[in-house]
Structures are given as structure tokens and as C-alpha cells.
Structure 1
Amino acid sequence: MRRVRYHEYGGPEVLRVEQAEVPVPGEGQVLVRAEAIGVNFVDTKYRQGPEAGAIFQRPLPGTLTGDVVGTVEAVGQGVEGLAVGERVAALVAEDAYADYVLAAAQWIVKVDEGVDHGSATMLPMGAPVALRVLRTGGLTPGESVLVHSAAGGIGHFALQIARLLGAGTVVATAGSDAKLEFAREHGADIAVNYTEQNWTGAVRAAVPDGVDVLLDAVGGDVLRRSFEVLAPYGRAVTYGAASGDLISVPVTSVFALKSLAGFNLTAWRTARPEQARAEMDELAGYVAEGKLTAAVHATVPLAEAAEAHRLLDDRAALGRVLLVP
């Protein structure tokens, strides 16, 4: 089979297609023949190596993560409730860019045949993160929400889920006119360009009392300035640092009756496995019913994985970028 790895840090060109043996599932694992692979932005950071910042360090040779949709080919010992031939989706932590992948059975989602590849690739990771960061922020019906990076895979799902949860005003931020329009099409009432100096003023003008829940995966100055637009008792939830900067938030924000929480999917699944599993099934129902849909910016052959990374490096992608074997 083919798989993609990198043996040096650098640009997309370091990604190499290799030949490898089809892996054998161990205890609690499932072998999946890939139909489509959702490419995650974080892997472009890992690929860059030390220059991406201390928080994005992985040893060589570099393997790649991904959200894989495909067909069960074999199951390992102890796996129950999954059968050969079923269509599933799984977050694959190593060697996701491959014709066949291994996944932990515990976190696999069964996928209806009518669900498109893009939406199916959101079920293992993107959709659960989007839902849980909103719930971590304690969103209640009628409250306002601000979603940073709203044109990304998780961001455009967070906009839709906020609507499903009964949010009031939904504000999106992104870095280009095309991304702002895309955010409006996926549920935002107001879209603001956060590369502009006075983006906080634009948000305040739209929501004078401040936003109740704020979702951020950028970090750095964007997160710090976000506290300027939070309402009293507003809640910010951070779940990434695409900027590579984990700048601290001033303690004075706490005294202003504003709070910050962090979210990590692995930690969530470890702390509340039954609830995490239930939320995955909840989201699969929304997708099957057509209440949540993913936009696919591009579909790229597996052999051209470097092109998929170029699209993410250029920061122009709207929604998901997929690889297909």
C-alpha cells in the first residue's frame, strides 16, 4: 500500500509517498480502507518542524494525522459492534495519509451511506470539538457567540452548531473577504476581518454589550484582544494556537468578570468517555439528517498530498481539504 511521510522538516515538498505493508489491527483496533482523508491544519505545523514553534514538535520520520472515512477491512481482538464492510469514520493519529489505516475502535463512528465524504470526515474530530467548545463555554439559547477562524473546518461547523443550540447573534472572524462571505453562508450574522487593526471595535459595534461565548484556536494577540469584546460574565474557550503563540491573558480580565477555559479532545475523552461517545453519536445524527454539512474546498489525490498542504499553507481554503486514494 501507499503511505505519506516526511523525513525532514520543511515545506510541502518534503512529503513523500512510500510503499509499506498493510498494517494488521491489534487489540481494540480496526483496519480501514480509506475512501477520503480530511487534512488537518496542525500537520502543516508539525511538518515545518522547529520554525513552527515549540508547541509543534514531533520527531522524524514524521507521520500525519487525519480524519479518515472508509470501509472496515478487519477487526482486532476485543472489538465489538463493528463488522467488516461497514462504512466508518475515524481520527487516525499516525499514518493517516495511506490506502489503509489503523484506528482505535472506541472512537470510530458509523457513517450512513448517504453522507458525503466531507461531512463524514468531520465526525471523528472536527464536529466533536466544535460542539464541546460551545458547551464548555456554557452557551445557552439566545446568547451571542463569536467564532474566530470561522472559515476553517472546525470554525464553519461551530457556526452551524451554535445555530442548532439556539444561539442569538453569531459573529464570525476571518482574514479575507472570501472567508467572511463563506462564514455568512454558514450561519454568521456578522463577519469581521480580524487582520484589521480595529477588529474589536467592529465586533463591539455589532454587539454593544459584548459577546457571551468566544471560541478561539488562534492564540497570541488575537486571544488577548478577544477579552476586549467579551461581555461581563463572558466565557472564552481556547482550543488551539495556530499562531504558535500561547501569550498569557491579563489577570485583570478575571477581575472584569470574564473567564477563560481550555479544551483538548484527548483530555475530554479521557475525563468523560461516555459523554464524549454520546456526543459523537449525537453529531452523526445531525449529519445524517442534513442539519450539519461540511464544505469541501478541494479534493486532492493521495499521491499529491503536498498540494493539499500548500492549500492550507496559503490560508485560502474554505472548509475542508480532502485526500482521496
Structure 2
Amino acid sequence: MAADQRSKADTLALRQRLISSSCRLFFPEDPVKIVRAQGQYMYDEQGAEYIDCINNVAHVGHCHPLVVRAAHEQNQVLNTNSRYLHDNIVDYAQRLSETLPEPLCVFYFLNSGSEANDLALRLARHYTGHQDVVVLDHAYHGHLSSLIDISPYKFRSLDGQKEWVHVAPLPDTYRGPYREDHPNPAVAYANEVKHVVSSAQEKGRKIAAFFAESLPSVGGQIIPPAGYFSQVAEHIHKAGGVFVADEIQVGFGRVGKHFWAFQLQGKDFVPDIVTMGKSIGNGHPVACVATTQPVARAFEATGVEYFNTVSDSSKSREQHGF
């Protein structure tokens, strides 16, 4: 039976037979069968229209004509990997560099946000020579094994917390211990990170990185108090670690006032590593890691080549909406 003739019940039966039950559906009691989308709307097999408020990848809307055209035109020319010399990859890296603070000037292109955070973890460990990671409570950084280990949202229902992972309180000024009426919630929450780092060091642990979504999403769309990241970075740097800003959900202008969500923390704050995904390709499999020259050089010194089969066809100005 052709897919366009298959009933919702038949599609559901096939999914239940062929797709793992761990790949869960939205609204499992009565799932919506989506057959097409345009802009901010999605449509089911009956033609019912839904405003898409929960799908988090179509940065400039579904089937954006510029994105469709750019992908179509590039796919007619070339689709290859990052080990060939080609203009698109350097042109796009240059455009990205113009949106970021000057120290963030080295780029790695990848296929997914999970890959980006995994590479950020590798970069941090090579640069610092340390192993341990500090994360925020309720964080989620991806579905690779290395990232499940640093995602309290996931590891608490699986194998538990590894000894090299240290969890700091979410800087939530609405429900957390330090709220908007606190005289300085940024310092108070940053001091919690300092305490976590000190406790780890007392056990002989060495901090490689602090990972944080610039606006924690799974934790409840939290906006950290201004100045929090700068204070945390100071404590992490003193411990020999680096600050990784996870922009996979919130980057590329999604916060409105700035291109990157970490910029809400003030112009003086610059993370050591920034990770990107989802919105970078409007839902297509593209991701990126941006970092500093010192971090990149430490990784290069290992002699291990890094490449990715991310296609150049995914990197164009029109495809990414800026």
C-alpha cells in the first residue's frame, strides 16, 4: 500500500511492529499523524492544521522556500565530506565567526548536536588533561553514551551518576533556593558551583569542563541570572577547566535580543567552547563546535585526525536563515 493511502491505524500498527518502543510518540494514546508542514503549521492526514509549538528543529519554519531552494541547488552540484577543499565550509565558518566573540575562531562541522557535545568533551579533556565534568541539575546534553553520563535528566533513571560527574544546582531564580528577591542570585548560584568544585578536588578529582545549556531547556526554560556564567567561569578556570556553552537548542537568534543565548550574560563573558545543532541546519543534519586557538591546538597536538562526513550541501547562507 502506498504511504499516501495508508490509514492512521495502519501506520500505527506498522510502527508498533517495526520501530522500537523506546522511540516514543508524542500523544501516545491518540498520536497525531503528520503528513506535511509549512511555516509554523503542521497538517495531519485529515488536513487538520496545528501550530507547531513543540518541534524544536525548524529554525526558520517548515519547508522554508530559501532553505528548500538552497538544498536543491547544492544537491545538484556536490555532496561530500569535510576532507575535500571546498568554499562552502570556509565561507560558512567565516560567517559564523562574525557572530561570535573574537577568541572563538576555530570551527569543527559535524552531523548532530550530540556529536558536537561529544567533541566538546574531547576537546576539554585534551586541553586540560583532566577528566571530570561539572553539569547543572536536570541537564540534557545528548544521547551518546558520553553525554548520557553528563545528563542528570537521563542518568538518574539509568546507571546513576559516575564518579567523574559533579552536579551543581540549576540557577533557577523562580523555584530555586536563590530567587529574584535575593540580593545577588548570580553570585549565590556560582558559589554553589565553587562548592561542588572544591568538594571534587578534596577527593582528588580534577575538573576538565563545566557544561551548561545557555538557557537550560529540559530544566524548564531557565534564564540564569545575569553575571552567573562569568562567576562560574572564574571558578572553573581556577580549577583548570573550561566553560562549554551548549547552544544546540537556543542559538541562532532564538532568544531574540542576541544571536547567541550566552550573550544574555553580558558582553564580557566568552565561553571557551560553543556547541551548535538543530537550528544550524533548520532541522537538517548539521552541527558545529566553535572554540579558541589554544584549545584547538591542544587537540591537534594529539596527532589524531578529525573529520566528519557532514556534507557541504548543508552549509549555505540561505539554508541557515542569516
TM over 0.5: no
Question: Which has the larger strand fraction?
Answer: 1
TM-score range, shorter chain: 0.3 to 0.5
Larger radius of gyration: 2
Question: Structure 2-normalised TM-score?
Answer: 0.37
Question: Structure 1-normalised TM-score?
Answer: 0.37
